C-alpha cells in the first residue's frame, strides 16, 4: 500500500491516525501493532508471518541477553540473532545474485536460479532488528518492556518499507510513553503533505525524463541527453527518497512518534564524507555504529582503516540492491571518502570557494547516480562515454513536457538553496505571516497532489456514439 495511493491516503491513514488519537493511551500500541501488521500484510501477505516469527525470536534472544550474566551466553545469543537476521536478508535478497555469479564464474553448474521475490522493506526491517539485539547486548538499551513494544518498533508502518532506519533505544521511551498531541498531528500532517508533494509533483515528473533517457539504446544516446538524464535522476532520487522520509516522519509524528531526520540537503555537501552526513543519514549512522566501529573504525592502522571504509561502502552499495552496478556505486563513494581521509578534507575542500566545493561534489555525486541508475555496467560506461563526448549527437527523441522542466527547475533550486538561510529570510520579512502562508501553500499543493494521485485511478477510453 504505497503512501501515494488513494486507498492509503483516504482510507487507511485517516482511520489509523484518527483511531490512534482517540484511543486511550494504553490501547494505542496494540492498535498500532495490528494496523502496522495489516499494512505490511497488504503487500506481503505471506512474508508477514516470517517477520512476525523472526521478531519473536529476536525478542526471546534479547530477553536472554538481558537476563544472562555470562558473557559467553550473551555472545552466543547475539551471534544467533545477527546470523539469523543476516541469513534472512541474504536468502531473500542475495541468493539469486550469488547463484547467478557462481554460474558465470565457474560455467554452467546446473544450479537453478532461486525464484525468490524480494520482500518489501526487508533491508530496512533486518537492519532495525539487528540494532535491537546489538543495543541490548551492548547494554545501550534494556530489552523491550513487552512483545507489543518490540513488534511496534519493528512494524511501525510509517518507516516500515523505506526507513528511516530506527534504533530501538531511540524509540523506546516514545513507545513506552505513547502520547499524541494536536501539535503532533498538525506538524506531522504538514510534513506528510510536503513529502507527498515532493514525490508526486517533483520526483515523478522528473522521473519521466530520466526514464526516457535511461531507456535510449546505447548507440543512440548523445551528449545532451546523457547529462540531462543524469541531472534528472539526481533530482528524482533525492526528491523521491527524501519525500518518502518526509512522509514517514510526518506520519509517525501524527501517531505520536518523532523519527530521526534522514536527509539534510545533501547536494550542499562539500566532499563525500560530508555528503554521507547529509544523505540517508539513518543508513550511514547504522553502518558507522554497527559495521565500521565493530570493525575497528579509525582506531586501527591506516591501511586497516581504509579497508574498513571500503568494506562499509561496498556493503552499503550491495545493501541498495543485488547488482554489480550497486557494488560499483559503493566503490565509487568509497574511493572519494577515502580520498577525503587521505587529504581532500584537510588540503583541498577548505581552500576551494564554498560554491566550487559544493558544485564539484554535486557533479561527482551525479556521476555516481549514473552508475546507480544504469541497468548494467555496460550502460553506465556508455553513458559516461556520451557525457564525455560533446560532439556525440543524440539519435533519439524524448518527450519533455513543460511541467517536467518546471519540476526539474524547482527540484534543482530547492536542492541548492540553503533552507536555513531561506527560513531566516522568511522570518525577517514575514515572521508573522510565514507559518500561515506556508501552511496555505502546502494545502494548495496537497489538493494538487491528491489530484495527481487520482490520475492513475481514471483512464477513460475514446468512445464516440457507440
Partner 1 sequence: MKQLLKRPVLALLILLTLLPGAAMLAQKSGVKIFAGFTKTSLGGVVDPAPPPKWTLTSFLDGNLQKQLSLWVPEQMGRPRETMLRLNNGLGYVMGRSFNPDVIIGRNRMLYPKDYVREWCSKPRPNKRQAEVVNQIVKLRDDVTASGKRFLLVLSPGKPSIYSEYLKTPCDGDSNNRRISQIKTALAASNVEMVDGTVALRNAKRSQNLPLFGRDGLHWNALGASFTVNAIVDNLERQLGKPMPRLKVENMTVDSRSPVADQDLGALLNLPFRLWPYPSPHPVFDAGKEGYRPRILMVGTSFCWQLLDLMGVNRISDDLRFYYYFSKIAQAKEGNVEISDVSFAAGKDLPAAFERAEVVVLEINEANVLADYTSQLQADIARLLKKGG
Of 342 and 444, the one with the shorter C-beta distance to partner 1 is 444
State how far the alpha carbon of 217 is from the alpha carbons of 53, 329, 353, in Å: 46, 22, 39
Of 37 and 380, the one with the shorter C-beta distance to partner 1 is 37
Interface with partner 1, residue 347, by CB under 8 A: no
DSSP string over 58-73: HHHHHHHHHH---HHH
Interface with partner 1, residue 458, by CB under 8 A: yes
Q: How far is the CB of 66 from partner 1 (least distance, A)?
A: 36
Interface with partner 1, residue 432, by CB under 8 A: no
Cβ–Cβ under 8 Å, residues 279 and 162? no
C-alpha cell at 233: 535522476
Of 379 and 404, the one with the shorter C-beta distance to partner 1 is 404
Interface with partner 1, residue 353, by CB under 8 A: no
Cβ–Cβ under 8 Å, residues 208 and 240? no
Question: 379: closest CA among 203, 205, 220, 204?
Answer: 220
Stretch that binds partner 1, among 26-34, 224-232, 257-265, 438-446 (CB under 8 A): 438-446
Stretch that binds partner 1, among 63-71, 328-336, 416-424, 436-444 (CB under 8 A): 436-444
Of 105 and 462, the one with the shorter C-beta distance to partner 1 is 462
Class of residue 299 by CB neighbours under 10 A (exposed 0-12, middle 13-18, buried 19+): exposed
Q: Is 320 a catalytic residue?
A: yes
Q: According to CB under 8 A, which one of 16, 185, 210, 328 is a site residue for partner 1?
A: 185
Of 374 and 442, the one with the shorter C-beta distance to partner 1 is 442
Cα distance between residue 417 and residue 188, in whole Å: 23
Straight-line distance from the first to the last Cα atom of the chain, in angstroms, rounded to the nearest whole number: 37
Question: 238: closest CA among 215, 213, 206, 270?
Answer: 206
Question: 57: closest CA among 82, 75, 36?
Answer: 82
Q: According to CB under 8 A, which one of 3, 13, 318, 357 is a site residue for partner 1?
A: 13
Interface with partner 1, residue 10, by CB under 8 A: yes
Cα distance between residue 313 and residue 53, in whole Å: 31
Given 280, 320, 333, 347, the catalytic residue: 320
Of 421 and 463, the one with the shorter C-beta distance to partner 1 is 463
Interface with partner 1, residue 186, by CB under 8 A: yes
User: Which residues fall within 8 angstroms of residue 134, CB to CB, at 6 or more apart?
Assistant: 78, 82, 290
Interface with partner 1, residue 72, by CB under 8 A: no
- Lay out the site mask for partner 1 across 190-219 (x = CB under 8 A, - = otherwise): x--x--------------------------
Interface with partner 1, residue 421, by CB under 8 A: no
Cβ–Cβ under 8 Å, residues 382 and 221? yes
Residue whose C-alpha cell is 530477553: 63
Q: How far is the CB of 39 from partner 1 (least distance, A)?
A: 11
- In the complex, the residues that contact partner 1 under the rule CB under 8 A are 1, 5-7, 9-11, 13-14, 42-43, 45-46, 182, 185-186, 189-190, 193, 397, 399, 401-403, 406, 436, 439-440, 443, 446-448, 450-452, 454-455, 457-466
Active site residues: 320
Amino acid at each position: 500500500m504505497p503512501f501515494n495511493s488513494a486507498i492509503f491516503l483516504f482510507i487507511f491513514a485517516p482511520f489509523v491516525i484518527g483511531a490512534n488519537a482517540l484511543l486511550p493511551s494504553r490501547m494505542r500500541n496494540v492498535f498500532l501493532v495490528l494496523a502496522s501488521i495489516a499494512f505490511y500484510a497488504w503487500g506481503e501477505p505471506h512474508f508477514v508471518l516470517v517477520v512476525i516469527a523472526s521478531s519473536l525470536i529476536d525478542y526471546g534472544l534479547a530477553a536472554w541477553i538481558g537476563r544472562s550474566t555470562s558473557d559467553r551466553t550473551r555472545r552466543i545469543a547475539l551471534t544467533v540473532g545477527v546470523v539469523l537476521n543476516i541469513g534472512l536478508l541474504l536468502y531473500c535478497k542475495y541468493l539469486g545474485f550469488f547463484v547467478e555469479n557462481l554460474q558465470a564464474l565457474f560455467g554452467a553448474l546446473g544450479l537453478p536460479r532461486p525464484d525468490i521475490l524480494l520482500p518489501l522493506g526487508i533491508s530496512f526491517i533486518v537492519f532495525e532488528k539487528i540494532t535491537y539485539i546489538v543495543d541490548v547486548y551492548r547494554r545501550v538499551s534494556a530489552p523491550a518492556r513487552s512483545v507489543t513494544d518490540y513488534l511496534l518498533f519493528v512494524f511501525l508502518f510509517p518507516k516500515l518499507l523505506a526507513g528511516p532506519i530506527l534504533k530501538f533505544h531511540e524509540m523506546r521511551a516514545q513507545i513506552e510513553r505513547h502520547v499524541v498531541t494536536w501539535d503532533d498531528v498538525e506538524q506531522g500532517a504538514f510534513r506528510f503533505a510536503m513529502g507527498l508533494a515532493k514525490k508526486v509533483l517533483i520526483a515523478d515528473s522528473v522521473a519521466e525524463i530520466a526514464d526516457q533517457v535511461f531507456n535510449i539504446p546505447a548507440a543512440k544516446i548523445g551528449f545532451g541527453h546523457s547529462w540531462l538524464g543524469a541531472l534528472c535522476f539526481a533530482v528524482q532520487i533525492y526528491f523521491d527518497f527524501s519525500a518518502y522520509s518526509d512522509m514517514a516522519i510526518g506520519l509517525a509524528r501524527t501517531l505520536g512518534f518523532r523519527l530521526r531526520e534522514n536527509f539534510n540537503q545533501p547536494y550542499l555537501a562539500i566532499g563525500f564524507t560530508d555528503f554521507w552526513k547529509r544523505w540517508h543519514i539513518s543508513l550511514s549512522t547504522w553502518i558507522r555504529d554497527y559495521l565500521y566501529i565493530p570493525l575497528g573504525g579509525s582506531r586501527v592502522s591506516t591501511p586497516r582503516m581504509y579497508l574498513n571504509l571500503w568494506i562499509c561502502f561496498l556493503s552499503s552499495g550491495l545493501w541498495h540492491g543485488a547488482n554489480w552496478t550497486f557494488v560499483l556505486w559503493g566503490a565509487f563513494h568509497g574511493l572519494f571518502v577515502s580520498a577525503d581521509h587521505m587529504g581532500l578534507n584537510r588540503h583541498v575542500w577548505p581552500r576551494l570557494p564554498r560554491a566550487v566545493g559544493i558544485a564539484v561534489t554535486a557533479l561527482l555525486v551525479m556521476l555516481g547516480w549514473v552508475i546507480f541508475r544504469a541497468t548494467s555496467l555496460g550502460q553506465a560506461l556508455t553513458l559516461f562515454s556520451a557525457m564525455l563526448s560533446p560532439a556525440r549527437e543524440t539519435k533519439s527523441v524524448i518527450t519533455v513536457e513543460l511541467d517536467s522542466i518546471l519540476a526539474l527547475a524547482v527540484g534543482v533550486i530547492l536542492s541548492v538553496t540553503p533552507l536555513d538561510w531561506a527560513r531566516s529570510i522568511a522570518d525577517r520579512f514575514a515572521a508573522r505571516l510565514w507559518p500561515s502562508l506556508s501552511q496555505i501553500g502546502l494545502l494548495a499543493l496537497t489538493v494538487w497532489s491528491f489530484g495527481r494521485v487520482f490520475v492513475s485511478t481514471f483512464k477513460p477510453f475514446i468512445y464516440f456514439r457507440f
